[in-house]
Structure 1
Amino acid sequence: MKIDSLSNYQSLILYICFTCSCNFSFSQLTSNSNLKLTERIYSIWDSEPAPNRGGDFNITKARGYPYDEDWELHSYPIGNGYMGANIFGRTDVERIQLTEKTLANEGLYGIGGLTSFAEIDLEFNHNNPTHYKRSINLNEAIAYVNYKQDGVSYTRTHFLSYPDNVLVIKLSASKNGQISFVLKPEIPYLRKPTEKNTRTGYMTVNENIITMAGCIEHFSVNYEGQIKVIPTGGTLSTSQNGEQSEIKVTHADSVILLVSAGTNYRLTQAVFLEDNHSKKLDTNVNTHEKVSRIIQKASKKGYEKLKQTHIDDYQSLFSRVKLQFSTDIPNKPTKKVLTDYQEEVSNSYLEELMFHYGRYLLISTSRPGTLPCGLQGVWSQYEVTPFTGGFWHNINVQMNYWGAFNTNLAETFTPYIEFFKAYYPKAKQLATVYLKVHHPEVLAKNSLENGWTIGTGTTPYKIVGPGGHSGPGTGALTTKMFWDYYDFTRDTTFLKETGFPAILGMSQFLSKTLVSVNDSLLLVNPSASPEQKHNGDNYITAGTTFDQELVWENHNDLLKAYQVLDIKDKFKQTVEDQLTKLDPIIIGKSGQIKEFREEEYYGEIGQKHHRHISHLCALYPGTLINETTPEWIQAARHTLDLRGNITTGWAMAHRMNARARTKEGEKAHNVYSKFIKERTLPNLWTTHPPFQIDGNFGTMAGVAEMLIQSHEDYIQILPALPKAWNTGAYSGLVARGNFEFSVVWKEGKAKAIEILSRSGGICKLKYAHIAKSTLTNSTGSPIVLKSEQADLLAFNTVKGTQYYLKL
């Protein structure tokens, strides 16, 4: 968007005025309010196809294999929560790699691991393309490939529909009769029966459908995929050459390909309760019928309806939030925009694009009815995926959802709620087992009173208890998500039925891991700060800050839940008593927040520049360290300085959010900039390394955290605004209390604030001199405000009503 006659600031105001999905009015701020602007279209694109050298079994990354650099750096991802596809955009032989989130082999550690589902090759043999472009339109979640060959313009359109659970590909040309290709799918990683991760498989072709089916023996996973080819005009022929099924289309006007995939996996309690890995799944589940129904339904619906249904569904989520820092979109391939940024060419557009890309990826990987978002989202070309591609609970899975709530995508957390309900009975068993080993003296006869627990390594097939390199606080880092889901949505039904039992059970368990010291102190024992080593071994001690602070966080959230639901029981008093004896935050002799109680000076125990900043979880995502504890805030700042930013991708993202909470906008922006320069790939995926999606989501959350915070007793506007975002606007970001905000600012100062109260209640705002602002409701009626502080105001709101503040 570029408007020569308007200032950048006016352009931003008009952008918000005419593209917000809500009925906001900023006409007071500009005399050009009748000028309508088109909505900004966000895309990642390239002027060249992705290279495709394939995977190399001689290269492992994070114990995963085979490594495929071209897939990781250059392919473009689309997804619908169930499946993910990576588009290479080639014109000779196109490669589309398909992942289905429930397909798993033994993987690393014997707990199961994501593995690639299929490879789909399309032989076009177009070797001299011109006017080439491949892209993903983030506003519609559609991937395109466009080019010319021999005077004909070709277009390939790809989307993965969540409502219809099908991959749809349309091949079209500017002239009739020009679509010719051979479809050659492949079942990857077929092995001899004696080899690890054994997979059997076969292909058949019947009329215009190729079927791929087989079994991965370790978990008795039956799988099937179908590809249906629907040409308009031309001819279609099939062939079966040994194990290879092929479909050849010649001189068609256009072609639709429909792809569906599934397994016999069902997310049930039995999956986690059954210890025999070969009996976790019901082998009698008919995967063929399920996949066939999906293909048949999609065929009857037709391409245009499939596409419109997909767009309507996706945009109902993506279009909720608008965010703009810049007025110009660079007219160059995204990888070149990234290269320029890495070479110190200032570009706030890329920082803006990364935020929107994060929301696109979250919608693509986590939808109700699917498994949660794992380490690699819903994409894996590996036979053995790094770290299993699972749900790692000592920070990674939580980071995946940090931005779900404040960026208005709370529904994407639903898969984790469903996942929790399935593993919950096993988690209760694990709590009893843990307490029998470490605290048998407090083991309750009624197992329900032992609560539940969870450790780090988790997959769709197995969960584990705490221990080794991460302490029991891991479970409380998990339940923090449950309280945040309630706090942002104010869904009391969820709190009563799911959130409260989860938080209560975690407190019950954690209360039994505490050991009394001198009657005035309670310490978690044994305790560990995630993955921190000393002299080469995991450092196990008592009362690490990580465990102490997260017991505090969970206990505190439980007390708030008691109050909301007006519940009274004997355990509440236990929680209140224990809270006063946790002593969770201690400042050391270096002015640091200690990671270990026995630590005096920073770094004398453990690694000084460790990737985890677990002892700062009380700052973010927790709330114990806040503006009411200025000594702790200052110590947190100093600790972040000492820890440094030379670290992995997701660890930079945590530091970014922590800097936002300390209200250090420039330092938060610096680590975000470093993250983009050093941990962002040409396709804008982010790397640990290797590729892990938590970095994308963690920084997305960080951008929102810099623009709005609500973890204290008020909502703060632009709390960590850096100079690079001196002028800008956003709409649709959400604060706790279920308030939706839009803000316009110029030269670092807010000029207008719009608030939609989605649940009613008191709205308390903090911003410089906000008490002097004028507040009106949606009808324009002024609301009289009274405030004892210049930077704070509070007012009662009515559910469904919009409020407008002019500063």
Structure 2
Amino acid sequence: MVTKTKKMFKIIRIIVLISFLSFSKGVISQNNTSQLNATHRTYEIWDDQPAPNRGKDYSRIQARGYPTDSDWEAHSYPIGNGYMGANIFGRTDMERIQITDKTLTNGAPYGHGGLTNFGEVFLEFDHYEVKNYKRSLNLNEAILNVSYEYEGVKYTREYLANYPQNVIAIKLKASKKAKLSLTVSAVVPYLRSADAYNHSGETIENIAKYANTTAQDNLITFAGNVPSFSLNFEGQVKIINEGGKLIANNENGSNEIRIIDANSATILISTGTNYELNEDIFLQDSTELKLNSKIFPHKKVTEIIENASLLGYKKLKESHLKDYQNLFSRVNLEVSPSVPNIPTKTLVENYKQDASDIYLEELMFHFGRYLLIASSRKGTLPSTLQGVWSQYHVTPWSGGYWHNINVQMNYWGAFNTNLAETFTGYQEYFNAFTPKTYQHANTYIKKWHPSAFVDSEKGNGWAIGTGSNAYHVNGSSGHSGPGTGGFTTKLFWDRFEFTQDTTYLREQVYPALLGMSTFLSKTLLATEDGKLLVDRSASPEQRHNGVHYMTIGTTFDQGFVWETYNDLLKSAKILGTNDPFLEIVRNQIDKLDPIIIGESGQIKEYREEKKYGDIGDPKHRHISHLCGLYPGTLIDSKKPEWMEAASTVLDFRGNKTTGWAMAHRMNLRARTKEAEKAYEVYSEFLRERTLPNLWTVHPPFQIDGNLGTMAGVAEMLIQSHEGFIELLPALPKAWQTGSFDRLVARGNFEVSLRWKNSKISSVKILSKSGGKCSIKLPNTKGVQLKDRMGKQIVYKITDEDIIEFNTKKSGKYFITIK
């Protein structure tokens, strides 16, 4: 009787559950028709061969960097956790794992500090003539896999860079017991005694590095110092074997550990230096005194390794996936009808010949988000010019932060692709160097505008030049004007607009804007016709008659004074601030005259030019006078004559340029709503600047090209800088059917969209902060707006193609278009 009753209740529960699911399905179908629930794809970069490893070439100098390693650049696969990065070759004979730590530098190439290779870890398998080989980097998981068969045994490796525990973890397995045998060793490259080559005029002392490596029990330790920066460093490689035994060997300088007949093994790698990000590093001018030479990272590195060992690989993997997927899985974007089952290098090569298979265009977007997460996290230095990866003794352009476009480009896509947290690394870096920039402003104004100088600590605002790194920040540049600082504060305002974080606005954005506005106001020269023009102005890196051209009132500088003033006034209004200085800004902003159209129908780069190309290189990589179009908001659709003139400049400038410069052109074309031209430059970028491992080149490799085009894809699909959300503003014909989920619009709205035959079919809006939502649609007739419960929402049409409605925080809204 009891059994029958239990069965009856079980049947009733099943019936109720089915009824509930049917009802729920009906509600979802009725209220959420915008969601097609497309299965999120698994994105892989993969190859059926190991990466070649032919070594370094000291005869090739790239962007002042050396030695060149073409195989590292083009074929290795990168992993990273913000603190450190590793490049994996996936070899079966001698695996190479190249390690970078963003805090390890030497003096080259400018004497102020530049990235340098931290170490190389080798796994000697001696497996040749293997079968069924595959190496793959899974972007959904940020895990790199290597698998193959050798002498009847399947061998697998998993590599991950865990951010919460700050450790690189590798899991090695064999399909049969007692079949895992290899030798693990570590090397610190470019030591003074062997590899201290000098190719760019540096002194040997400036680039010298010393280190010792020892192997004991299950631990390899490599530690040393860089005298020119009083920099102490240490790396540890720990091996945890399951089955078999370990034998450490230090004879003849081998410093290795032999794994013999194990079932599986875990290898943990940790790095550290005595670098600590703080304002004293930037305030201290002497490189030798920036760090405390008596502090060693041994305790810190040891604790990291021990804690990771206690967790074990399984928990390390779980914490890694939880952390990483929280960021990466937020956004889905599909524009390709299918996923080709071919190695990535073949995909790239095929695209160069025939761009009709558009999957590479989709894959590159996701790879960009992967790289940003891997290279910039809270508590780490920002993503450098090379992200978090450098095999070089002297890294190209020092691997630093270049504020006349490159570092900004690294973060353009952080906000609209739902990765605002990655910007925290730069914000922390900015906060550390800011006290030095107030000193720079005092020096600059006292020298060039003495009548405007105020003798107080912050009375002249703050100033920044082009170059900076982990130890140094410039105050001015001979080839980029004062607008460089406004270029930087634009990032802070954008972060607020996308997140609506008023605490961040009050504590970070407003002070930065106020300080930069104060500085810029003192650089302005009043002209006889009532205009205010930046004195000592430059358009970044442009030359005329062989020298960097310095003048008055370039469009770049005038534009970023306007952007900074405009953002400051909007911030003050939101915060209810009534600073007396704001009245000066209000009086000055309309006298800037930032945009002038020349005789060729172009936006002038210089006030004194008449026809396009009169001054400077007409094909220059920088296109700085259009920064008011992107990333700025000065030029928009409300000024169609400016938009047309911007398009004219882009036509004149052309796309034959460096990788990052192509990325800027792509974003600019997206803003002018020239879909096919935006797509054209993206396609050219993929054909001409993309390597087999999907890193992109200036050349050489620079991460800004990857991250800049990632931002460009999002900008083609959604824009929100004109006070409303515009959907598919620059949709090319090649992407006629597709979808995206949870791209972010200003106002902190997460937007999901489906389109078919280039027409929007459904839209979902998640209002993260509440407030008014305005959306531009191609046709407002037949539009239905409902909330998550299926209730009809009243909206008004403010223009013929913009609907406006009020939202609640965390509210979901669904738009269907008949």
TM tier, smaller: over 0.9
Structure 1 SS opposite 2:56: coil
Letter of the 1:140 counterpart: E
Q: Residues 574-585 of structure 1 correspond to what in structure 2 (within 5 A)?
A: 574-585=584-595
Partner of 1:171: 172
Instruction: Return 535-544 or 34-43, whichever deviates more.
Output: 34-43
Structure 2 SS opposite 1:447: coil
Partner of 1:707: 717
Q: 1:420 aligns with which of 420, 425, 430?
A: 430
Partner of 2:788: 778
**Separation of aligned partners in 2, 1:541 and 1:398:** 24
How far residue 150 of structure 1 moved from its aligned partner, in angstroms, is 0.8
Change (3 A) 1:500 1:283: same
Q: Residues 572-611 of structure 1 correspond to what in structure 2 (within 5 A)?
A: 572-611=582-621
Structure 1 SS opposite 2:192: coil
Q: Residues 147-296 of structure 1 correspond to what in structure 2 (within 5 A)?
A: 147-192=148-193, 195-296=205-306
Partner of 2:197: none
Q: 1:628 aligns with which of 634, 638, 642?
A: 638
Change (3 A) 1:33 1:552: closer
**Separation of aligned partners in 1, 2:699 and 2:674:** 27
**Separation of aligned partners in 2, 1:326 and 1:421:** 42
**Separation of aligned partners in 2, 1:602 and 1:311:** 52
Q: Residues 641-790 of structure 1 correspond to what in structure 2 (within 5 A)?
A: 641-770=651-780, 772-790=782-800
Preserved contact between residue 34 and residue 814 of structure 2 (Cα < 8 Å): no
How far residue 38 of structure 1 moved from its aligned partner, in angstroms, is 4.9
Q: Residues 362-377 of structure 1 correspond to what in structure 2 (within 5 A)?
A: 362-377=372-387
**Separation of aligned partners in 2, 1:496 and 1:410:** 17
Preserved contact between residue 771 and residue 791 of structure 1 (Cα < 8 Å): no
Structure 1 SS opposite 2:799: coil
**Separation of aligned partners in 1, 2:67 and 2:26:** 54
Q: 1:448 aligns with which of 458, 465, 468?
A: 458
**Separation of aligned partners in 2, 1:26 and 1:186:** 61
Q: Residues 123-522 of structure 1 correspond to what in structure 2 (within 5 A)?
A: 123-192=124-193, 195-518=205-528, 520-522=530-532
Change (3 A) 1:672 1:33: closer
Partner of 2:14: none
**Separation of aligned partners in 2, 1:59 and 1:502:** 41
How far residue 54 of structure 1 moved from its aligned partner, in angstroms, is 1.2
Partner of 1:6: none
Q: 1:530 aligns with which of 540, 553, 558?
A: 540
**Separation of aligned partners in 1, 2:357 and 2:27:** 27
Preserved contact between residue 355 and residue 683 of structure 2 (Cα < 8 Å): no
Partner of 1:550: 560
Instruction: Return 369-378 or 783-792, whichever deviates more.
Output: 783-792
**Separation of aligned partners in 1, 2:733 and 2:317:** 41
**Separation of aligned partners in 2, 1:62 and 1:107:** 12
Structure 1 SS opposite 2:556: helix
Partner of 2:55: 54
Preserved contact between residue 768 and residue 790 of structure 1 (Cα < 8 Å): no
Preserved contact between residue 134 and residue 147 of structure 2 (Cα < 8 Å): yes
Letter of the 2:475 counterpart: G
How far residue 93 of structure 1 moved from its aligned partner, in angstroms, is 0.4
RMSD, matched Cα: 1.7
How far residue 152 of structure 1 moved from its aligned partner, in angstroms, is 0.8
Instruction: Return 55-64 or 669-678, whichever deviates more.
Output: 55-64
Q: 1:793 aligns with which of 803, 807, 811?
A: 803
**Separation of aligned partners in 2, 1:406 and 1:788:** 25
How far residue 398 of structure 1 moved from its aligned partner, in angstroms, is 0.1
After superposition, the C-alpha distances for 1:619-658 in whole angstroms (9 at most, x for unaligned) are: 0000000011110000001110000000000000000000
Structure 2 SS opposite 1:298: helix
Partner of 1:803: 813
Structure 2 SS opposite 1:225: strand
Letter of the 2:187 counterpart: E
Q: Report the TM-score, using the length of structure 2 for normalisation.
A: 0.94
Structure 2 SS opposite 1:110: coil
**Separation of aligned partners in 1, 2:816 and 2:46:** 39
How far residue 61 of structure 1 moved from its aligned partner, in angstroms, is 0.5
How far residue 33 of structure 1 moved from its aligned partner, in angstroms, is 12
Structure 2 SS opposite 1:526: strand
Structure 1 SS opposite 2:636: coil
**Separation of aligned partners in 1, 2:191 and 2:30:** 64
Letter of the 1:131 counterpart: N
Partner of 2:66: 65
Preserved contact between residue 524 and residue 544 of structure 1 (Cα < 8 Å): yes
Structure 1 SS opposite 2:61: coil
Change (3 A) 1:480 1:30: closer
**Separation of aligned partners in 1, 2:27 and 2:338:** 21
How far residue 704 of structure 1 moved from its aligned partner, in angstroms, is 0.3
Structure 2 SS opposite 1:315: helix
How far residue 519 of structure 1 moved from its aligned partner, in angstroms, is 5.4
1:98 aligns with 2:99: yes
Structure 1 SS opposite 2:402: coil
How far residue 467 of structure 1 moved from its aligned partner, in angstroms, is 2.4
Letter of the 1:405 counterpart: F
Instruction: Return 780-789 or 544-553, whichever deviates more.
Output: 780-789
Preserved contact between residue 35 and residue 762 of structure 2 (Cα < 8 Å): no
In the comparison of the two structures, how many residue pairs are matched? 785
**Separation of aligned partners in 1, 2:58 and 2:248:** 32
Letter of the 2:102 counterpart: K
Structure 1 SS opposite 2:504: helix
How far residue 447 of structure 1 moved from its aligned partner, in angstroms, is 3.0
After superposition, the C-alpha distances for 1:393-445 in whole angstroms (9 at most, x for unaligned) are: 00000000000000000000001110011000000000111111110110012
**Separation of aligned partners in 2, 1:695 and 1:221:** 31
Letter of the 1:476 counterpart: G
Letter of the 2:363 counterpart: L
**Separation of aligned partners in 2, 1:31 and 1:538:** 57
Q: 2:579 aligns with which of 569, 572, 575?
A: 569
After superposition, the C-alpha distances for 1:48-86 in whole angstroms (9 at most, x for unaligned) are: 000001111111111100000000000000000001000
Change (3 A) 1:457 1:101: same
Letter of the 1:637 counterpart: S
Change (3 A) 1:502 1:130: same
Structure 1 SS opposite 2:403: coil
How far residue 27 of structure 1 moved from its aligned partner, in angstroms, is 5.8
How far residue 327 of structure 1 moved from its aligned partner, in angstroms, is 2.8
How far residue 243 of structure 1 moved from its aligned partner, in angstroms, is 3.7
Q: Report the TM-score, using the length of structure 1 for normalisation.
A: 0.96
Preserved contact between residue 34 and residue 815 of structure 2 (Cα < 8 Å): no
Percent identity over the alignment is 57
How far residue 608 of structure 1 moved from its aligned partner, in angstroms, is 0.6
Change (3 A) 1:345 1:501: closer
The structure 1 segments of at least 4 consecutive aligned residues displaced by more than 3 Å after TM superposition are 23-39, 192-196
Letter of the 2:675 counterpart: G
**Separation of aligned partners in 2, 1:296 and 1:24:** 49
After superposition, the C-alpha distances for 1:288-341 in whole angstroms (9 at most, x for unaligned) are: 000000000000001100001000100000000000012311010001011111
Change (3 A) 1:630 1:36: closer
**Separation of aligned partners in 2, 1:344 and 1:359:** 26
How far residue 788 of structure 1 moved from its aligned partner, in angstroms, is 4.4
Preserved contact between residue 771 and residue 790 of structure 1 (Cα < 8 Å): no
**Separation of aligned partners in 2, 1:595 and 1:35:** 46
Letter of the 1:61 counterpart: Q
